[in-house]
Structure 1
Amino acid sequence: MKPEQDRMLRRTGCRNTASDAVRSHQDQALDTTMFLIRSCGPAAFLLRENGEARDLKVCLGDPHTCSCSVFSREREPCKHICWVLLRKFRLPREHEYSFQPGLVERQLLELLQGLHRAHRTELDASAASGTLGRAVPGPEAGSVCRKVIQAQDVCPICQEELLQKKQPVSYCRFGCGNSVHISCMKVWADHQTPSDQQEMVRCPLCREDFCSVKLLQEQVKNAAKLFTAAERERANKHLGAVCHSCRVCPVSGTCFRCAVCSRFYLCEECVQKGCHSQHPLASRATRRAKWVLVAADPTGDPKGATSEPQPDGAVAELSPSRVLERLPAVRVRPGSQLLNEGLQCRICLQGFSVGQTVRTLPCHHKFHVDCVDQTLLETNSCPLDGFIIYGPLTWRTTQRKTCPTMASSKQQENNVQDLFVPGVALQVLPPRGALNFEVPTSMPQKDATAAGGERQTRAPFTAESGRPLNHDICSRSSKQRAANMAAAAQVREQRQVSLSTESELRMTGVSVNAALKVHKK
Structure 2
Amino acid sequence: FLRRSCRNRRTGWRNVPSDTVNSHQDQALSSTVFLLRSFGPTAFLLKEDGETANFKVCLGERHTCTCPTFAREQQPCKHICWLLLRKFRLPREHQYAFQPGLSERQLLEVLQGSHQAKTSAAGTPHQSLPGQETGVICRKEIQNQDVCPICLEGLLQKKQPVCYCRYGCGNSVHISCMKVWADHQGLSVGQEMLRCPLCRESFSSLQLLQEQAKNAARLFTAAERERADRHLGAVCCSCRAGPVTGTCYRCSLCSSLYLCETCVKKGSHSQHPLASRTTRKEEWTPVTEGSTLDPEPRDGSAPAEPPADFVLERVPVAKVRRGSRLLDEGMQCRICLRGFGQGQQLRTLPCQHKFHMDCVDQILLRSRSCPLDGYIIYCQRPTDRKKSSPEVTSLQHQEDDLKHLFVPGTALLAQSTKPSPARHAPNS
TM-score by length of 1: 0.68
Given candidates 332, 347, 363, the residue that maps to 2:320 is 332
Mean CA deviation greater in 110-119 or 100-109: 110-119
Matched, 1:201 2:167: no
Whole-Å separation in 1 of the counterparts to 2:378 and 2:180:
38
Mean CA deviation greater in 108-117 or 84-93: 108-117
Whole-Å separation in 2 of the counterparts to 1:297 and 1:143:
64
Corresponding position of 1:251: 244
Corresponding position of 1:230: 223
Given candidates 275, 285, 299, the residue that maps to 1:292 is 285
Letter in 1 for 2:7: L
The CA deviation string for residues 7-48 of structure 1, in whole angstroms up to 9 with x for no partner, is: 423130000011111111111111111110111221111111
Matched, 1:140 2:138: no
Whole-Å separation in 2 of the counterparts to 1:358 and 1:115:
43
Whole-Å separation in 1 of the counterparts to 2:84 and 2:70:
15
Give 1:299 shift: 3.3
Mean CA deviation greater in 358-367 or 246-255: 246-255
Whole-Å separation in 2 of the counterparts to 1:17 and 1:372:
42
The CA deviation string for residues 77-124 of structure 1, in whole angstroms up to 9 with x for no partner, is: 1111110000000111111100111111111121112289999x96xx
Contact kept, 8 Å, 2:368 with 2:376, in 1: the verdict is yes
Which secondary structure state, in structure 2, belongs to the residue aligned with residue 210 of structure 1?
strand
Give 1:196 shift: 8.2
Letter in 1 for 2:309: S
Give 1:322 shift: 2.3
Contact kept, 8 Å, 1:277 with 1:297, in 2: the verdict is no
The CA deviation string for residues 281-328 of structure 1, in whole angstroms up to 9 with x for no partner, is: 111121111111122443379x6999xxx99x9xx9642212212311
Which secondary structure state, in structure 1, belongs to the residue aligned with residue 309 of structure 2?
helix
Whole-Å separation in 1 of the counterparts to 2:289 and 2:375:
27
Whole-Å separation in 2 of the counterparts to 1:66 and 1:26:
15
Whole-Å separation in 2 of the counterparts to 1:283 and 1:84:
35
Whole-Å separation in 2 of the counterparts to 1:168 and 1:289:
23
Give 1:190 shift: 0.8
The CA deviation string for residues 200-241 of structure 1, in whole angstroms up to 9 with x for no partner, is: 111111111111111111100000000101111111111111
User: Residues 495-514 of structure 1: matches in 2 within 5 Å?
Assistant: none
Whole-Å separation in 2 of the counterparts to 1:134 and 1:288:
32
Matched, 1:95 2:111: no
Given candidates 162, 165, 173, the residue that maps to 1:169 is 162
Give 1:333 shift: 1.4
Task: Tell me: CA distance 1:234–1:134, structure 2 relative to 1, closer, same or farther (3 Å).
Answer: closer
Task: Tell me: CA distance 1:281–1:25, structure 2 relative to 1, closer, same or farther (3 Å).
Answer: same
Which secondary structure state, in structure 1, belongs to the residue aligned with residue 366 of structure 2?
helix
User: Residues 47-196 of structure 1: matches in 2 within 5 Å?
Assistant: 47-114=46-113, 139-194=132-187
Whole-Å separation in 2 of the counterparts to 1:370 and 1:171:
23
Contact kept, 8 Å, 1:277 with 1:296, in 2: the verdict is no
Of structures 1 and 2, the one scoring higher in RCO (CA 8 A, sep 6+) is 2
Give 1:132 shift: 9.8
Contact kept, 8 Å, 2:287 with 2:293, in 1: the verdict is no
Which secondary structure state, in structure 2, belongs to the residue aligned with residue 80 of structure 1?
helix
Mean CA deviation greater in 198-207 or 146-155: 198-207
Which secondary structure state, in structure 1, belongs to the residue aligned with residue 23 of structure 2?
helix
Matched, 1:319 2:307: yes
Contact kept, 8 Å, 2:264 with 2:293, in 1: the verdict is no
Give 1:278 shift: 2.7
Task: Tell me: CA distance 1:116–1:163, structure 2 relative to 1, closer, same or farther (3 Å).
Answer: same
Mean CA deviation greater in 78-87 or 138-147: 138-147
Matched, 1:211 2:199: no
User: Residues 270-309 of structure 1: matches in 2 within 5 Å?
Assistant: 270-299=263-292
Give 1:399 shift: 8.8
Given candidates 338, 348, 352, the residue that maps to 1:364 is 352
TM-score by length of 2: 0.82
Given candidates 342, 352, 358, the residue that maps to 2:340 is 352
Letter in 2 for 1:16: N
Unaligned residue ranges in structure 1 (runs of 5+): 401-521
Task: Tell me: CA distance 1:135–1:275, structure 2 relative to 1, closer, same or farther (3 Å).
Answer: closer
Contact kept, 8 Å, 2:60 with 2:102, in 1: the verdict is yes
Which secondary structure state, in structure 2, belongs to the residue aligned with residue 191 of structure 1?
helix
Whole-Å separation in 2 of the counterparts to 1:325 and 1:392:
15
Contact kept, 8 Å, 1:138 with 1:144, in 2: the verdict is no
Whole-Å separation in 2 of the counterparts to 1:208 and 1:196:
18
The CA deviation string for residues 166-224 of structure 1, in whole angstroms up to 9 with x for no partner, is: 00001111000000000000001111144886521111111111111111111000000
Whole-Å separation in 1 of the counterparts to 2:245 and 2:178:
36
Contact kept, 8 Å, 1:133 with 1:176, in 2: the verdict is no
Contact kept, 8 Å, 2:317 with 2:347, in 1: the verdict is yes
Task: Tell me: CA distance 1:6–1:272, structure 2 relative to 1, closer, same or farther (3 Å).
Answer: farther
Given candidates 6, 9, 13, the residue that maps to 1:8 is 6
User: Residues 376-415 of structure 1: matches in 2 within 5 Å?
Assistant: 376-393=364-381
Which secondary structure state, in structure 2, belongs to the residue aligned with residue 220 of structure 1?
helix
Corresponding position of 2:331: 343
Task: Tell me: CA distance 1:395–1:274, structure 2 relative to 1, closer, same or farther (3 Å).
Answer: closer
Unaligned residue ranges in structure 2 (runs of 5+): 389-428
Task: Tell me: CA distance 1:372–1:195, structure 2 relative to 1, closer, same or farther (3 Å).
Answer: closer
Whole-Å separation in 2 of the counterparts to 1:285 and 1:239:
12
Contact kept, 8 Å, 2:7 with 2:61, in 1: the verdict is no
The CA deviation string for residues 223-270 of structure 1, in whole angstroms up to 9 with x for no partner, is: 000010111111111111111222221111111111122312112222
Which secondary structure state, in structure 2, belongs to the residue aligned with residue 56 of structure 1?
strand
Task: Tell me: CA distance 1:198–1:117, structure 2 relative to 1, closer, same or farther (3 Å).
Answer: farther
In terms of Rg, which structure is larger? 1
RMSD: 3.2
The CA deviation string for residues 436-488 of structure 1, in whole angstroms up to 9 with x for no partner, is: xxxxxxxxxxxxxxxxxxxxxxxxxxxxxxxxxxxxxxxxxxxxxxxxxxxxx
Query: How many residue pairs get matched?
Result: 385
Corresponding position of 2:393: none
Mean CA deviation greater in 71-80 or 270-279: 270-279
Contact kept, 8 Å, 1:238 with 1:287, in 2: the verdict is yes
Mean CA deviation greater in 8-17 or 265-274: 265-274
User: Residues 28-43 of structure 1: matches in 2 within 5 Å?
Assistant: 28-43=27-42
Task: Tell me: CA distance 1:321–1:271, structure 2 relative to 1, closer, same or farther (3 Å).
Answer: same
Contact kept, 8 Å, 2:12 with 2:100, in 1: the verdict is yes
Contact kept, 8 Å, 2:44 with 2:57, in 1: the verdict is yes
Corresponding position of 1:409: none
